[in-house]
């Protein structure tokens, strides 16, 4: 008399992780969830004898350069750096300037000012120099000629 059912024996491979019927070696990356980095670890599950898959959140670099701001992006794990202001770099300093704002450096000529202009999502720094008219002594009556220095930015 023969046996009615055959005997099936499953071979256990103790040095692998198993996910969705796929085997992974220790150290292999396992694609499981978006926004997480998963790998087959050294640790084993006592009940299955398989190695355990460990996951950590995908690290996002949230550090942005001067004049930029980190913003999240819908549907993506990590956001991105978006420019939010102009960057004015002089020989001794670097400053940010919001769109529409003006700035006159303290140690610079008061007749020089900077403006930040945003055009089609591009930030442009405009440098404006006020040029004073040349003094011609021939235009004055000799007795009344004298000069004044104005430091107000609109009246050089």
Q: What is the pLDDT of residue 151?
A: 44
What's the chain look like in SS3? CCCCCCCCCCCCCCCEEEECCEEEECCCEECCCCCEEEEEEEEECCCCCCEEEEEEECCCCCCCCCCEEEECCCCCCCCEEEECCEEEECCCCEEEECCCCEECCCCCCCCEEEEEEEECCEEEEEEEECCCCCCCHHHCCHHHCCCCCCCCCCCC
Residues 49 and 89 in one domain: no
Residue 72 domain-assigned? no
Residue 2 domain-assigned? no
Q: Is the pLDDT of residue 35 over 60?
A: yes
Rounded to the nearest integer, the mean pLDDT of the chain is 83
Boundary of a domain, candidates 38, 57, 76:
57
Predicted structure pTM score? 0.57
More confident residue, 91 or 1: 91
Express each pLDDT in 100-152 by its tens digit: 998 888 765 678 889 999 999 899 999 888 888 887 777 777 665 455 554 44
Q: What is the pLDDT of residue 128?
A: 86
pLDDT band at 12 (very low <50, low <70, confident <90, very high): low
Q: Looking at the 3D structure of the chain, how many domains does it have?
A: 2
Range of the domain at 153: 85-156
């Amino acid at each position: 008399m023969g046996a009615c059912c055959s005997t099936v024996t499953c071979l256990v491979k103790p040095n692998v992780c198993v996910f969705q019927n796929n085997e992974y070696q220790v150290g292999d990356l396992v694609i499981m969830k978006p926004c997480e980095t998963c790998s087959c670890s050294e640790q084993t599950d006592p009940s299955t004898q398989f190695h355990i898959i460990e996951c950590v959140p995908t690290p996002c670099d949230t550090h942005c350069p001067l004049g930029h701001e980190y913003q999240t992006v819908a549907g993506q794990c990590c956001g991105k750096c978006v420019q939010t202001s102009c960057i004015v770099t002089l020989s001794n300093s670097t400053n940010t300037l919001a769109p529409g704002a003006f700035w006159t450096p303290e140690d610079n000529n008061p007749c020089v000012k900077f403006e930040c202009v945003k055009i089609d999502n591009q930030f442009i720094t405009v440098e404006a120099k006020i040029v004073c008219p040349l003094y011609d002594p021939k235009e004055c009556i000799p007795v009344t000629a004298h000069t004044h220095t104005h430091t107000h930015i609109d009246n050089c």
